[in-house]
């Protein structure tokens, strides 16, 4: 617990004493006009509201704060290599730490070619990885992998929205989710405080904004075509 | 006879100062209402945050907004400066003629008024930071981090003490500027020009500005800051009194 400088206590007590004395002096030193009375009570009301604030703030429930509700990660977790692009180079998603399944789909499919369409094209470049299975099992499996977005050691995975994936005939349509904007707020010490007590700084830990990847497992007899960039990998 | 004379003269001076002070305090309550208006306006500005930075990609964008009541403190500085200048004007000085007063008692009651204004301004400016926290808790509680939300007593008290010290200094400067303007209206042009010239354009090049900056703003010890500010403030008030007496002679 932080110790309070006795000088500060004396200063604060002196401030409060002066405030009280001023109020007493003003009240005792003759009658007010009506206008003065209104002004006086407006000022007194404002000061009372401010003096009540330190008490009120202590009573606010703490569970509403983002860092109380959202899961925290350790600094060690933050430095785990979670480069989703290594999947496109043949790494197994299950073996990459910090990568998780955001959503998955399975579609029965009997066609010979599959056209993968990405929307919106050009504005957005999702990494699509295709793995051809050993057997022609008539099933297309789609997995939306993601890496954790971490800000101030808060795991913000719960806010990530998956892609929308739908199969229509021989067209597999992959639609990007709407961009999600999260604004976190924090208080910093006033400059008059930081001059004496130093600055309050954000955690030095770096931020990671997380990324997403679409992984397709297609039957052995299906050819995949796409206008978007598709990476083919061998079965892991 | 002489004893009676002394006993009558001595208390009457301080009595006059006290009466003038109280009279001015009552008569200038509107100035404190202006302070409330200024602080509430600054609080509203502070709701959008002091600084913001973010990062992200096409899917997810995070921004980080930092809140503080810095603006309230700056606005309060501005308020007390204006008040200090204002009370040197003829309209406000005429209040002294209702008392049997001399120039010194008038100055002392003005200084007393400004000290009171600094204390009230300092306490309210810092406490408004706590009010700001409560308002932001209810308006953006969902994505608010608890860090620094409840300021430790040490933080609040330090903030109040330093804000009062700065308000004392700013009020003394305002009073000095006000007296200069009463001395000659030329200062209405010279003072802002001097301010813009030294603070905005030459600040980085003038060693004296750097020294002044380090002397006050660079001071990390509260006790030393208090000593420096109180001595500087007293000196500025003394200069103001000397200048104002010249004004009276003229």
Which of A6, A203, A93, A174 lies closest to B59 in space, CA to CA?
Answer: A174
| Partner-chain residue, chosen from A39, A209, A211, that has the shortest CB–CB distance to B33 | A39
Render A148-192 in DSSP notation, one character per residue. Answer: --EETTEE-GGG--PPEEEEETTEEEEEPPPPEEEEEEEE---HH
Residues linked to residue A145 through DSSP beta bridges, in sequence order: A101, A213
Q: Is the pLDDT of residue A234 over 50?
A: yes
Smallest Cα distance from B185 to chain A, Å: 33
Ramachandran region of residue A198, left (φ > 0), alpha (ψ -120 to 50) or beta? left
Which of B117, B101, B86 lies closest to B19 in space, CA to CA?
Answer: B101
Chain B residues with CB-CB distance to A7 below 8 A: 222-223
| Partner-chain residue, chosen from B55, B131, B159, that has the shortest CB–CB distance to A192 | B159
Q: Which residues contact B99 (CB under 8 A, 6 or more apart)?
A: B16, B19, B20, B23, B105
- Contact state of B63 with A186 under an 8 Å Cβ cutoff: no
Which chain B residue is nearest to residue A46, measuring alpha carbons?
A: B36
Nearest-angstrom CA–CA distance, B106 and B113: 10
The count of CB pairs under 8 A between chains A and B is: 248
Q: Quick check: helix, strand or coil at residue B230?
A: helix
Render A7-58 in DSSP notation, one character per residue. Answer: HHHHHHHHHHHHHHHHHHHHHHSSPPPHHHHHHHHHHHHHHHHHHHHHHHHH
Residue A120 or A235, more confident = A120
**Mean pLDDT in residue range A41-54:** 88
- The answer to whether B224 and B162 have CB atoms below 8 angstroms apart is no
- Contact state of B61 with A180 under an 8 Å Cβ cutoff: yes
Question: Which of A147, A159, A183 to probe the B interface (max B CBs under 10 A)?
Answer: A183
- Contact state of B150 with A57 under an 8 Å Cβ cutoff: yes
Chain A residues with CB-CB distance to B141 below 8 A: 64-65
- The answer to whether B26 and A32 have CB atoms below 8 angstroms apart is yes
Percentage of the residues of chain A whose pLDDT score is greater than 70: 79
Q: Which residues contact B155 (CB under 8 A, 6 or more apart)?
A: A189, A193, A197
Residue A210 or B119, more confident = B119
B118 touches chain A (CB under 8 A): no
| Partner-chain residue, chosen from A19, A65, A123, that has the shortest CB–CB distance to B146 | A65
Q: What are phi and psi of A201, to 5 degrees?
A: -120, 160
- Contact state of A50 with B124 under an 8 Å Cβ cutoff: yes
Which of B114, B161, B131 lies closest to B46 in space, CA to CA?
Answer: B131
What does pLDDT average to over chain B? Answer: 83
Question: ipTM of this predicted complex?
Answer: 0.83
- The answer to whether B109 and B24 have CB atoms below 8 angstroms apart is yes
Which of B67, B220, B227 lies closest to A192 in space, CA to CA?
Answer: B220
Smallest Cα distance from B17 to chain A, Å: 14
B2 touches chain A (CB under 8 A): no
Smallest Cα distance from A85 to chain B, Å: 15
Rg of the Cα trace of chain A?
Answer: 30
Q: Which residues contact B208 (CB under 8 A, 6 or more apart)?
A: none
- Contact state of B145 with A60 under an 8 Å Cβ cutoff: no
- Contact state of B144 with A68 under an 8 Å Cβ cutoff: no
The pLDDT value given to residue B172: 95
Nearest-angstrom CA–CA distance, B2 and B15: 20
Give pLDDT tens digits for A2-37: 455 565 566 666 666 666 666 566 555 554 555 677
- What is the DSSP pairing of strand A154-155 with strand A164-168? unpaired
Q: Packing angle between helix B2-27 and helix A6-28, nearest 10 degrees?
A: 90
Nearest-angstrom CA–CA distance, B118 and B167: 5
Sheet hosting strand A139-147, strand order edge to edge? A99-108, A139-147, A212-218, A127-132, A230-233
Residues of chain B with pLDDT under 70: 1-11, 93-101, 141-142, 198-205, 247-250
| Surface of B (46-65) touching A: CB under 8 A | 49-50, 52, 54-65
**Mean pLDDT in residue range A43-67:** 87
Smallest Cα distance from A112 to chain B, Å: 32
Smallest Cα distance from B111 to chain A, Å: 14
Nearest-angstrom CA–CA distance, B54 and A181: 10
Residues linked to residue A147 through DSSP beta bridges, in sequence order: A99
- What is the DSSP pairing of strand A154-155 with strand A150-151? antiparallel
């Amino acid at each position: 617990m932080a110790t309070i400088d006795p000088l500060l206590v004396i200063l604060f007590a002196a401030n409060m004493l002066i405030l009280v004395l001023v109020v007493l002096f003003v009240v005792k030193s003759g009658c007010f006009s009506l206008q003065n009375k209104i002004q006086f009570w407006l000022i007194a009301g404002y000061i009372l509201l401010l003096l009540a604030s330190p008490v009120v703030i202590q009573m606010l429930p703490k569970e509403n704060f983002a860092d109380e509700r959202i899961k925290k990660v350790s600094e060690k977790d933050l430095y785990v290599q979670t480069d989703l692009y290594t999947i496109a180079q043949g790494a197994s998603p299950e073996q990459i730490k910090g990568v998780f399944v955001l959503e998955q789909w399975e579609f029965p499919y009997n066609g010979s070619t599959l056209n993968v369409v990405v929307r919106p094209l050009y504005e957005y470049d999702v990494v699509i990885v295709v793995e051809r299975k050993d057997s022609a099992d008539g099933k297309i499996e789609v997995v939306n992998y993601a890496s954790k977005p971490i800000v101030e050691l808060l795991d913000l995975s719960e806010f990530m929205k998956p892609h929308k994936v739908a199969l229509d005939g021989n067209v597999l349509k992959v639609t990007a989710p709407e961009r999600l904007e999260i604004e976190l707020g924090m208080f910093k010490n006033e400059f008059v405080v930081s001059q004496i007590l130093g600055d309050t700084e954000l955690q030095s830990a770096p931020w990671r904004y997380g990324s997403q990847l679409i992984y397709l497992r297609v039957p052995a007899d299906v050819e995949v075509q796409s206008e978007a960039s598709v990476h083919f990998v061998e079965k892991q | 006879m002489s004893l009676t004379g002394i006993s009558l003269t001595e208390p009457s001076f301080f009595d006059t100062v006290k009466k003038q002070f109280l009279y001015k305090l009552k008569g200038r309550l509107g100035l404190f209402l202006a302070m409330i208006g200024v602080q509430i306006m600054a609080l509203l500005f502070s709701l959008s945050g002091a600084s913001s930075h973010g990062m992200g990609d096409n899917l997810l964008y995070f921004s980080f907004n930092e809140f503080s009541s810095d603006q309230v403190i700056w606005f309060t500085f501005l308020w007390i400066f204006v008040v200090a200048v204002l009370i040197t004007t003829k309209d406000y000085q005429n209040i002294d003629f209702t008392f049997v007063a001399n120039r010194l008692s008038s100055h002392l009651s003005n200084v007393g008024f400004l000290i009171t204004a600094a204390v009230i301004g300092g306490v309210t400016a810092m406490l408004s930071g706590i009010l700001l926290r409560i308002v932001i808790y209810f308006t953006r509680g969902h994505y608010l981090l608890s860090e620094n939300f409840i300021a430790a007593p040490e933080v609040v008290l330090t903030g109040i003490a330093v804000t009062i010290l700065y308000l004392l200094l700013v009020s003394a400067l305002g009073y000095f500027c006000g007296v200069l303007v009463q001395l000659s209206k030329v200062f209405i042009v010279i003072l802002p020009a001097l301010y813009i010239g030294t603070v905005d354009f030459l600040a980085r090049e003038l060693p004296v500005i750097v020294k002044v900056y380090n002397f006050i703003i660079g001071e990390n010890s509260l006790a030393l800051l208090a000593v420096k500010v109180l001595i500087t403030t007293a000196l500025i008030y003394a200069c103001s009194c000397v200048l104002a007496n010249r004004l009276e002679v003229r």
